[in-house]
Amino acid sequence: MASRQAVKAVLIDLSGTLHIENTAVPGAQDALKRLRQTTVALKFVTNTTKESKKNLLERLQRLNFNLQEKEIFTSLSAARSLLEQKQYRPLLMVEDSALEDFNGIDTSEPNSVVVGLAPDHFNYETLNKAFRMILNGAPLIAIHKARYYKRLDGLALGPGPFVMGLEYATGCTATVVGKPENTFFAQALSDLGCSPNEAVMIGDDARDDVGGAQAIGMIGILVRTGKYREGDENTINPPPHLTCDSFPEAVEHILMNLL
């Protein structure tokens, strides 16, 4: 650790790391409190596309996590920024519960396709509509490309397989705005006043959380909760800085070794 700066910021994944659906990871609330007693800046970064920022905040507060809306940075926010910047009118394949994060975006005569985790839209008819738009030149924007996620009843398909399908069908490549993209982590850190090598990312997804963060020079910590499956730490190169049982253990490591 000698060549590394002391850590100034910690980015924390939500689903699978702090909670699984409506259940908090044991000890996670207290671990978050301990982190807040230090000087590190915190941000909660998530690829969860089913929920608006406001919904996420309410859910976490119900589970007794102490955080504010402005500390949450989601892949929906990143998508909205891109739509505004390019002045695209999207066909929004996102769940109804996520729509409020796109309030005010013009969706008439759509000329772009935005794909999130949207089981209600993942049917042949809607996918075919998106396919034809992309063939006719509409850009494909993926909130993220996660292969699957953890539900209470087991693993379930993420948006990634459907984005891949549209890419394969059309020969186009999606612009991904969520984790593990460099731009996502850079945007999340942008108002925290620190460089990537002064920041830690904690998450349950080896590729999207840890691999993505490490690719721009952050320290990545993988937790064995949520979607974690045995051996996941061996699927990325370089491997995680640390793999540990759960969020409280990750916090303990930061407090003891990285400040």
Among residues 53 and 179, whose Cβ is nearest to a copy of itself?
179
Chain residues in the site for a copy of itself (CB under 8 A): 119-120, 122-125, 127-128, 131-132, 135, 147-148, 154-158, 160-162, 164-166, 168-171
Quick check: helix, strand or coil at residue 159? coil
CA distance 207 to 235: 8
Among residues 33 and 132, whose Cβ is nearest to a copy of itself?
132
Both tokens of 72, joined, read 């949450």
Among residues 43 and 145, whose Cβ is nearest to a copy of itself?
145
Residue 20: CB minimum distance to a copy of itself, A: 17
Among residues 159 and 248, whose Cβ is nearest to a copy of itself?
159
Pairing of strands 148-151, 154-157: antiparallel
Residue 118: CB minimum distance to a copy of itself, A: 9
* Long-range pairs for 181-186: beta carbons < 8 A, 24 or more residues apart: 181/212, 182/212, 182/215, 182/216, 183/78, 184/45, 184/75, 184/78, 184/212, 185/11, 185/45, 185/212, 185/213, 185/216, 185/218, 186/216
Among residues 104 and 171, whose Cβ is nearest to a copy of itself?
171
Among residues 102 and 162, whose Cβ is nearest to a copy of itself?
162
CA distance 169 to 22: 36
Residue for token digits 């507060």?
61
Residue 76: CB minimum distance to a copy of itself, A: 20
Residue 14: CB minimum distance to a copy of itself, A: 21
CA distance 169 to 64: 44
Peptide bond preceding 239 in cis form (omega within 30 of 0): no
Residue 158: CB minimum distance to a copy of itself, A: 7
Residue 148: CB minimum distance to a copy of itself, A: 6
